[in-house]
Amino acid sequence: MAVKKQSKAAKKQPKTAKKQPKAAKKQSKVAAKKQPKAAAKKQPKKRLPTKVAKKKQVKVAKTETGKISTGQYGYFDDENKEYVLRIPATPIKWCNYVGTLAFGGIVDATGGTVLCKGDPALNRITKYISQMPCSDFKGSTIYIRIKDKDHVRILSPFVVPTCTMWDKWECRIGLSYTKWIAEGFGLKVTVVVFVPSKSSTLIQDISIENVSRKNMEIDVVPVYEFSHFDALKQLTNADWVPQTMTVEAHKEKSGHVILEQYAFMKKQYAVNYFTASLPADSFDGDRREFLGFNEITGWAAPSTLYKGKLSNSTALRGDNIAAQLFKFKLAPKKVGRVATQLGQEESIAAAMPAIKKYRDLKNVDRAFADLADFWKHYLAALQVKTPDASFNSMINVHNPRQCHTTKNWSRYLSLYQLGFGSDRGIGYRDSSQDLLGVMSHMPEEARVLAENLLSVQLEGGNAMHQYFPSTMEANEGDSREKEDRPKYYGDDHLWIVLTVASYLKETGNMEFLKKEIPFYNKKKELEAREKGTVLEHLKRSLAFSWNDRGAHGIPHLGFADWNDTVNLPTGAESLFNANLFAKALLEMIDICEAIEDKELVEQYKNWYEEIKAQVNKTAWDGEWYVRWFDEKGEPLGSSKNQYNKIDSLGQSWPVISGIASEEYAKTALDSVNKLLNTKNGIKLSWPGYNGFDPHVGGVSTYPPGAKENGGIFLHANPWVMIAETIIGNGDRAFQYYSQINPAEKNNGKISEFESEPYCYPQNILGSEHKQFGLARNAWLSGTSSWTYQAATQYILGIKATFKGLSVNPCIPKAWKEFSVSRKFRDAVYEISVKNPNGVSKGVKSVTIDGNAIEGNVLPILTGKKHIVEVVMGE
């Protein structure tokens, strides 16, 4: 009932709103209700009062809506490094990340918030259930109340949960902030949400401008709903949890209110607080009091908002919220502003410095400017100019930004990986790979995380699968579930060799190899655990795989390799593990050469040759490499199999590891092109299993074409791009790059793709599935790190080595030139590459500051900028 009342009210425009562009008004009204097709097509023809008005309004409409066309929900604003969403009704929830794992989380485009401090499972702050429709309250919202004579109108700048139809609405998804601008009802409401760098405070900066011609009384009511700190308990326990949840109110002399929230057992250790830059008129800490009528009218129309004040409730138990009401009286053109803070500290006393700081709006502005500076500095590590605009946009902004996100949250917290319980944590293999994507931007932060990963490596050399950042406790991941399968993953411990090598090459800090780090041992206290240098850790990684080989001389699969879902019985071997092992050996050989340990170089070269020989002897299937040998020695990923005849990793990785001969490499990659490539990306395997098969396990739980079962598992796509560049096929590498570029999906393919166009999803349904092209699992995917590496280190070909910065592009033949600005060690290299003869690969000449050099490795230089000119050719 109440909802009906709302939308009726919303239809009635206040007189002053006439000034608003009607066309835009209609667009966004329709848009909020319907699919974009209708939205974009329905231009304002009817209901326009006069001819004059019609002309004027259509003109306005063009500028207002001109940025998006049929099939689009928003557009890229490259200048501001934002994606601008104009239609809130996206097919699925689109979101953004704010802060870091230390304090931060997810903000969705209609105002929902998932906030955590340090650990999504063990220290969660807001309650958000991602499976609920976007129209439901999701941990947070803001209400705006306008009183007009006797009439009360309740709006939300986020459109939901009030179903507010604004004249104009946009949501700017920026670098660690989201900004909404909602116009209508005589108001222009701007909300910016962000976490100041290194703080434990989520700021919500709300401005309201009176754009009408009359004085207005406006109340602003931001609300958060709290979760129990143990995120899973919040969902599974409705007895203990509500008995412990508490909200107290502290009213200061100044009129400011601090709402303090905690679960009883945390009272002395960690409390959440909610306060603002302005004194509060009234507040609520109890959800039932706030929603009123025993919650029957829900979040869409909290009945308290139809009264004058909030109830000033606290909570001794039950569902905890933090709501405060702020009053504004605004003359025309005047702006009211309030900044709220949601934070967590040991106690309110400990929070006071931050509270005081951010009550001063100048400090809020400064913190926002500092955030922009952080990103300016971060992105400056590598900037490109190529003939392809969406490649530039992804490489200069969105892809490195996503790498920063995966570096922080691993696969722990997204709208898909929900961060409850012990299902996920910081993944060993995932984070090791994520670090490769941020190494040129934040190598020292990457090193700190690499040290954590090394500290959950076991004495025997293999690694725990994941750990919890706040306790540093580790576990064996899904391998815990099956009694009769190995309790380790065959690949985890190998990835870290690539990560450490990348750090050393980027920074030249060889001292790191000497740093002592404990090995993981659940049974021993930290101090009692065996320690080893980083070099020793890497040696044990390699020794583990060398000693853990099966009947074909190929490393065992363990519970799984990179592909989590193929879980063959004990004894199975993995060709992927063999190739990753070989690649790790190559990196280790580089490291040992750099530290001049000839004996180790010799040993690892022997191991490499042995593995190379075994793979080529046992795994060539005729047109491609097989992917596994099962416990009986039977191949999987072979033309002999009924399902899973060919697997993409089986072909890309022998090229990456240098194991495949030129002929095998070409034949295998052509088979990928023929059997696995589609217009939406390369499928992981083909054909998909068509029914559960306990022998292979998880992969066969998916229908054919979904996820690892023949889906386009995007993470594996950049590996094929890299392999193609290694064999010099720049056109194909770039084709593979472009066909999965999410920014490209913004041009007419979103209704099929559905996922955010400004970040890579994890998977797209493959051609065996009826919903071919549909993407899911946005943000936290290894696709981000590897596509960034494929683009920058292999297509553009700029790669850190121990000797300097190697320049070895492999580009589309049609590219005549491109340029890259790359920070490396203590200098910036301004590299411009010319391609006069239209080749894909080959460097003919290089000059630095006008002087020719031998070869294509730019020496390690100091000084600020160096001008590098490269000419490609045979």
Which residues are known catalytic residues?
A: 564
Residue 565 beta carbon to ligand GLC: minimum distance, rounded to whole angstroms = 6
Q: Given the complex with ligand GLC, which of 565 and 717 has the nearer CB atom?
A: 565
- For the chain, helix (H) and strand (E) counts, in that order, are 24, 42
List of E strands, 149-237? 151-155, 168-173, 177-184, 187-194, 201-210, 216-225
**Distance between CA 167 and CA 12 in Å, rounded?**
12
**Distance between CA 699 and CA 277 in Å, rounded?**
52
In the complex, which residue's CB is closest to ligand GLC? Answer: 564
708 is a contact residue toward ligand GLC (CB under 6 A): yes
Q: Which of 143, 180, 562, 581 binds ligand GLC (CB under 6 A)?
A: 562
Q: How many residues does the chain have?
A: 874
754 is a contact residue toward ligand GLC (CB under 6 A): no
Stretch that binds ligand GLC, among 311-319, 354-362, 556-564, 720-728 (CB under 6 A): 556-564
Q: Which of 44, 427, 704, 718 binds ligand GLC (CB under 6 A)?
A: 427
Q: Given the complex with ligand GLC, which of 57 and 433 has the nearer CB atom?
A: 433
Stretch that binds ligand GLC, among 250-258, 382-390, 558-566, 604-612 (CB under 6 A): 558-566
Residue 411 beta carbon to ligand GLC: minimum distance, rounded to whole angstroms = 4
Q: Given the complex with ligand GLC, which of 430 and 768 has the nearer CB atom?
A: 430
574 is a contact residue toward ligand GLC (CB under 6 A): no
Q: Which of 345, 430, 492, 587 binds ligand GLC (CB under 6 A)?
A: 430
Distance of CA 268 to the CA centre of its chain: 34
Q: Given the complex with ligand GLC, which of 82 and 430 has the nearer CB atom?
A: 430
Alpha-carbon Rg of the chain, whole angstroms?
A: 29
Contact 400, 374 (CB under 8 A): no
Q: Given the complex with ligand GLC, which of 536 and 708 has the nearer CB atom?
A: 708
At 652, the amino acid letter reads S
Contact 822, 798 (CB under 8 A): yes
DSSP 57: H
Number of residues that bind ligand GLC (CB under 6 A): 10
Q: Determine the 3-state secondary structure of 419 from DSSP.
A: coil
Stretch that binds ligand GLC, among 255-263, 343-351, 561-569, 835-843 (CB under 6 A): 561-569
Q: Given the complex with ligand GLC, which of 491 and 506 has the nearer CB atom?
A: 491
Distance of CA 396 to the CA centre of its chain: 16
Q: Which of 90, 126, 297, 762 binds ligand GLC (CB under 6 A)?
A: 762
**Distance between CA 690 and CA 770 in Å, rounded?**
14
564 is a contact residue toward ligand GLC (CB under 6 A): yes
Residue 581 beta carbon to ligand GLC: minimum distance, rounded to whole angstroms = 16
Residue 829 bridge partners (DSSP): 822, 866
Q: Given the complex with ligand GLC, which of 576 and 736 has the nearer CB atom?
A: 576
Tokens of 2: 């109440």
Backbone region of residue 19 per phi and psi (left: phi > 0; alpha: psi in -120 to 50; beta: other values): alpha
Tokens of 427: 């993944």
- Interaction mask 668-697, ligand GLC, x per CB under 6 A: ------------------------------
| Residue in 827, 819, 869 with CA at minimum distance from that of residue 848 | 869
Contact 117, 123 (CB under 8 A): yes
DSSP 450: H
563 is a contact residue toward ligand GLC (CB under 6 A): yes
Contact 212, 198 (CB under 8 A): no
Q: Given the complex with ligand GLC, which of 429 and 683 has the nearer CB atom?
A: 429
Q: Given the complex with ligand GLC, which of 164 and 565 has the nearer CB atom?
A: 565
Residue 427 beta carbon to ligand GLC: minimum distance, rounded to whole angstroms = 5
Q: Given the complex with ligand GLC, which of 219 and 564 has the nearer CB atom?
A: 564
List of E strands, 416-544? 426-427, 466-468, 473-475, 516-518, 531-533
Residue 451 beta carbon to ligand GLC: minimum distance, rounded to whole angstroms = 20
Residue 31 beta carbon to ligand GLC: minimum distance, rounded to whole angstroms = 33
Stretch that binds ligand GLC, among 3-11, 56-64, 426-434, 752-760 (CB under 6 A): 426-434
Instruction: Give per-residue burial for 94-128: e unless 16+ CB within 10 Å, then b.
Output: bbbbbbbbebbbbbbbbbbbbbbbbbbbbbbbbbb
**Distance between CA 594 and CA 857 in Å, rounded?**
16
Residue 752 bridge partners (DSSP): none
Contact 686, 659 (CB under 8 A): no
Stretch that binds ligand GLC, among 202-210, 423-431, 688-696, 863-871 (CB under 6 A): 423-431
| β-bridge pairing 151-155 and 140-148 | antiparallel
Stretch that binds ligand GLC, among 562-570, 579-587, 613-621, 664-672 (CB under 6 A): 562-570
Q: Which of 199, 275, 399, 565 binds ligand GLC (CB under 6 A)?
A: 565
Stretch that binds ligand GLC, among 300-308, 338-346, 380-388, 424-432 (CB under 6 A): 424-432
Residue 399 beta carbon to ligand GLC: minimum distance, rounded to whole angstroms = 17
Residue 655 beta carbon to ligand GLC: minimum distance, rounded to whole angstroms = 19
Q: Given the complex with ligand GLC, which of 427 and 704 has the nearer CB atom?
A: 427
Residue 649 beta carbon to ligand GLC: minimum distance, rounded to whole angstroms = 10
341 is a contact residue toward ligand GLC (CB under 6 A): no
Residue 783 beta carbon to ligand GLC: minimum distance, rounded to whole angstroms = 9
Stretch that binds ligand GLC, among 109-117, 144-152, 560-568, 664-672 (CB under 6 A): 560-568
Q: Given the complex with ligand GLC, which of 6 and 541 has the nearer CB atom?
A: 541
Instruction: Give per-residue burial for 147-177: e unless 16+ CB within 10 Å, then b.
Output: eeeeebbbbbbbbbbbbbbbbbbbbbbbbbb
Return phi, psi of residue 863, to 5°: 85, 165
Q: Which of 168, 411, 485, 627 binds ligand GLC (CB under 6 A)?
A: 411
The total of other beta-carbon atoms located within 10 Å of residue 330's CB is 20
Q: Around 145, how many Cα atoms within 13 Å sit in the side-chain half-sphere?
A: 24
429 is a contact residue toward ligand GLC (CB under 6 A): yes
* Cα distances (Å, whole numbers) of residue 560 to 74, 132, 541, 573, 754: 40, 33, 16, 10, 30
| Residue in 368, 343, 346, 369 with CA at minimum distance from that of residue 356 | 343
The total of other beta-carbon atoms located within 10 Å of residue 524's CB is 12
Return phi, psi of residue 88, to 5°: -70, -25
| Residue in 39, 211, 202 with CA at minimum distance from that of residue 117 | 202
- Interaction mask 370-409, ligand GLC, x per CB under 6 A: ----------------------------------------
Stretch that binds ligand GLC, among 30-38, 322-330, 425-433, 790-798 (CB under 6 A): 425-433
* Cα distances (Å, whole numbers) of residue 656 to 528, 564, 580: 40, 21, 9
Residue 132 beta carbon to ligand GLC: minimum distance, rounded to whole angstroms = 24
Residue 124 beta carbon to ligand GLC: minimum distance, rounded to whole angstroms = 21
Residue 130 beta carbon to ligand GLC: minimum distance, rounded to whole angstroms = 17
Q: Given the complex with ligand GLC, which of 419 and 443 has the nearer CB atom?
A: 419
Interface of this chain with ligand GLC, residues 768 to 797, rule: CB under 6 A: none
| β-bridge pairing 635-636 and 685-686 | unpaired
Interface of this chain with ligand GLC, residues 584 to 613, rule: CB under 6 A: none
Tokens of 45: 């023809």
Q: Around 820, how many Cα atoms within 13 Å sit in the side-chain half-sphere?
A: 24
Applying CB under 6 A, the residues found at the interface with ligand GLC are 411, 427, 429-430, 562-565, 708, 762
